[in-house]
């Protein structure tokens, strides 16, 4: 059974940092492309970042809205993907989902909530 479990959300002040983690199981993680998708009432579902497999040189891609502030990474030995978020803004508030990207996003975690507020 495929499982994706996010952790690390919470309340952070504007300008602050937060790191999200996602632990994966039930599939060959090292072969998978992994993405972060967020959701908020204001913006709906928004793709955030992607990291590809080792076969694709762990290439990374970002939404323009987070480029330069967020960094996606992975540790295949731990079957985990991470999202380091710096210079956080109020508009980064939302539920962050870890997803597996196989054609489309075929598996999603339960999500972790990030609130950016003073």
Partner 1 sequence: DIQMTQSPASLSASVGETVTITCRASENIYSYLAWYQQKQGKSPQLLVYNAKTLAEGVPSRFSGSGSGTQFSLKINSLQPEDFGSYYCQHHYGTPLTFGAGTKLELK
CB nearer to partner 1: pick between 17 and 110? 110
Binding flag, residue 26, partner 1 (CB under 8 A): no
CB nearer to partner 1: pick between 18 and 35? 35
DSSP, res 87: S
* 20: its two tokens: 């999200």
Q: How far is the CB of 8 from partner 1 (least distance, A)?
A: 17
Helix count (H) and strand count (E) of the chain?
0, 11
Binding flag, residue 27, partner 1 (CB under 8 A): no
- Residue span binding partner 1 (CB under 8 A) among the ranges 9-17, 72-80, 86-94, 108-116: 108-116
90 to 29, 40, 57, 79, 101: CA distances (angstroms) = 32, 11, 33, 30, 27
* Contact residue for partner 1 among 63, 76, 84, 89 (CB under 8 A): 63
d(CA 118, CA 63): 25
Give the interface with partner 1 as residue ranges (CB under 8 A): 35, 44-47, 50, 61, 63-64, 97, 103-111
């Amino acid at each position: 059974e495929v499982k994706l479990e996010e952790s690390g959300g919470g309340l952070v002040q504007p300008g602050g940092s937060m790191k999200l983690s996602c632990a994966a199981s039930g599939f060959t993680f090292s072969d998978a492309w992994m993405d972060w998708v967020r959701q908020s009432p204001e913006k709906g579902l928004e793709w955030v970042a992607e990291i590809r497999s080792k076969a694709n040189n762990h290439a990374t891609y970002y939404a323009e809205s987070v480029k330069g502030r967020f960094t996606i990474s992975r540790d295949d030995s731990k079957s985990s993907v991470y999202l380091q978020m710096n210079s956080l803004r109020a508009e980064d508030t939302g539920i962050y989902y870890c997803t597996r990207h196989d054609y489309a996003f075929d598996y999603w975690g339960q999500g972790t909530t990030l609130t950016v507020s003073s």
